[in-house]
Structure 1
Amino acid sequence: MKKSILFVICLFTVLAHSQEIKPIPQVNVSGEGKIKVVPDQVTILATVETKGTNAKEVKKQNDQQMEAVLKLVKNMNLAPADYKTKRVSLNPQYDYEKKKHTYNATQTIEILLRDLSKYDELMEGLVDQGINRIDNVTFQSSKLAQYQSEARKQAMKDAKMKAEDYVSVLGQKVGAGFTITDNSQTYYPQPVYAMKSMSVESDSAAPRQTMAVGEIEIVANVSVSFKLE
């Protein structure tokens, strides 16, 4: 009986205490920071793909083409840390109509080019030495972390300015922030290199421009809750 009475007293105490807790006056806003920069480097994902009926010969041909590609990259004085093999495969394929096997060999290399003035020279050289598939071209900034930090700060300033706009009508002030949620994503422009332009004769008198780098837009998005004073 005493235990039951004690339990009821504790229950009423908790309920009474919970009724005394008042919601915190607050304003919830979002903010955006945006930095536009011209990229100063590019990552290229390129593949040598060979096919044939003899697995050994297909692999040998694929290796020879990739060897020529690596030689080109080394001759362009790229740092060893700026290029690496990403994927290697040799797969059998069966043609049910002709009832025979063929083989498909691929090797993919990832190259980080820090000097964009060498972009055309590298891309043409890759194709000349056996690259027959450009899987991806991503323009980047070597100062990405710095620009991301600037974008985040801009996003927080934007959020606070919005909060101040809202509460100024109510005659209140924005207090301390107590929750911050980062909703940021980074997007890179990925132009497609025109493979056909590489077939133009190398002794052409007119210089060619085969890419439009554009700008990287680094965007930070935040959601912030501020206390109201």
Structure 2
Amino acid sequence: MKKTILVLMTIVMTTLASAQEIKQIPQISVSGEGKIKVTPDYAIISIGVENTGNDAAEVKKKNDQTVDAVIKFLKGFKIAPADYQTKQVYLHKNYDYNKKKTSFVASQQISVTLRDLTKYDTMMMGLVDTGINNIQGVEFKSTNLAQHEAEARKAAVVDAKKKASDYATALGQKTGKAIFVTDNSQTNFPQPRMYAMASMKESADGMPQETLAIGEIEITSNVSISFVLD
């Protein structure tokens, strides 16, 4: 029994000594940031139609007619079937207690992926003509997002190493290997915009109006790194 206790105490003491040794390693902890700005090359547009009336079948019929026109238009516009999809179908019964009347609201949302942003205005004018009455937003994307995220991470590490080297030099020391890394990266996409239903006409000078501000996708990588100080 005494031998077992002695062995356990030896293990505990060795563990504590190792932990203390790790804590005493001279080190420096810094953060680094890398930013990459990318011009989007495609967009996901959320469109929809909504009708209200006193008869459920009638409002649904109106919605179905518009959706049918939308799908036919998208096919004619050479949008691939995989690039448009129904996201929501909604039929709801409302009761107005003041007027003692019942009404029905039918709506359907469709997501459309546009891979040629130069065709945005032409496509939207065609969709408005089909009868859609709301555009919920536009989300911009990049087909090379993973590559750009990797570039941002590398830039963040370079930034962290530069900071660590600056501090170490000021202390008369040098940085060694990295012993701890924490990554916290994020991608900020251009904010979706809400569009009111209005006729899309040419401007006063006869030139087509430009109604889409593409902006840039900002990919930010933040990293915390601890380096050994030599």
TM-score, normalized by the shorter chain, greater than 0.5: yes
- Give per-residue Cα distances to partners, 1:87-139, cap 9 Å, x unaligned: 11111111111112111111111111010111011122222212211112111
1:16-165 → structure 2 map (5 Å cutoff): 18-19=16-17, 21-22=20-21, 23=23, 24-165=25-166
| 2:176 is the alignment partner of 1:175 | yes
Q: How much does 1:17 deviate?
A: 5.2
Instruction: Report the CA distance shift for 1:19/1:12 in structure 2 as closer, same or farther (over 3 A).
Output: same
Q: How much does 1:14 deviate?
A: 2.2
Identify the match of residue 9 of structure 2 among 1, 8, 11: 11
Instruction: Report the CA distance shift for 1:16/1:203 in structure 2 as closer, same or farther (over 3 A).
Output: closer
- Conserved 8 A contact 2:83-2:112: yes
What letter is aligned with 1:60? K
- Conserved 8 A contact 1:191-1:211: no
Instruction: Report the CA distance shift for 1:17/1:212 in structure 2 as closer, same or farther (over 3 A).
Output: closer
Instruction: Report the CA distance shift for 1:207/1:201 in structure 2 as closer, same or farther (over 3 A).
Output: closer
Give the secondary structure class of the aligned counterpart of 2:40: coil
Q: How much does 1:8 deviate?
A: 5.6
Two-structure CA RMSD over aligned residues (Å)? 2.1
What letter is aligned with 2:40? P
- Conserved 8 A contact 1:42-1:139: yes
What letter is aligned with 1:55? A
- Conserved 8 A contact 2:93-2:102: yes
- Give per-residue Cα distances to partners, 1:61-96, cap 9 Å, x unaligned: 101011111111111101111111111111111111
Instruction: Report the CA distance shift for 1:5/1:168 in structure 2 as closer, same or farther (over 3 A).
Output: same
Q: How much does 1:11 deviate?
A: 2.5
Give the secondary structure class of the aligned counterpart of 1:78: coil
Give the secondary structure class of the aligned counterpart of 1:131: coil
Task: Structure 2 unaligned segments of length 5 or more: list them.
Answer: none
User: C-alpha separation between the residues in 2 aligned to 1:41 and 1:206?
Assistant: 24
Name the counterpart of 1:208: 209
TM-score normalised to structure 2 length = 0.89
Q: How much does 1:228 deviate?
A: 2.1
User: C-alpha separation between the residues in 1 aligned to 2:210 and 2:84?
Assistant: 24
User: C-alpha separation between the residues in 2 aligned to 1:162 and 1:8?
Assistant: 48
User: C-alpha separation between the residues in 1 aligned to 2:114 and 2:162?
Assistant: 40
User: C-alpha separation between the residues in 1 aligned to 2:203 and 2:3?
Assistant: 100
User: C-alpha separation between the residues in 2 aligned to 1:111 and 1:120?
Assistant: 14
What letter is aligned with 1:215? E
Q: How many pairs does the alignment contain?
A: 226
Give the secondary structure class of the aligned counterpart of 1:139: strand
User: C-alpha separation between the residues in 2 aligned to 1:194 and 1:186?
Assistant: 24
Instruction: Report the CA distance shift for 1:106/1:9 in structure 2 as closer, same or farther (over 3 A).
Output: same
Instruction: Report the CA distance shift for 1:98/1:27 in structure 2 as closer, same or farther (over 3 A).
Output: same
- Conserved 8 A contact 1:45-1:136: yes
- Conserved 8 A contact 2:201-2:208: no
- Conserved 8 A contact 2:35-2:152: yes
User: C-alpha separation between the residues in 2 aligned to 1:108 and 1:53?
Assistant: 21
Instruction: Report the CA distance shift for 1:94/1:159 in structure 2 as closer, same or farther (over 3 A).
Output: same
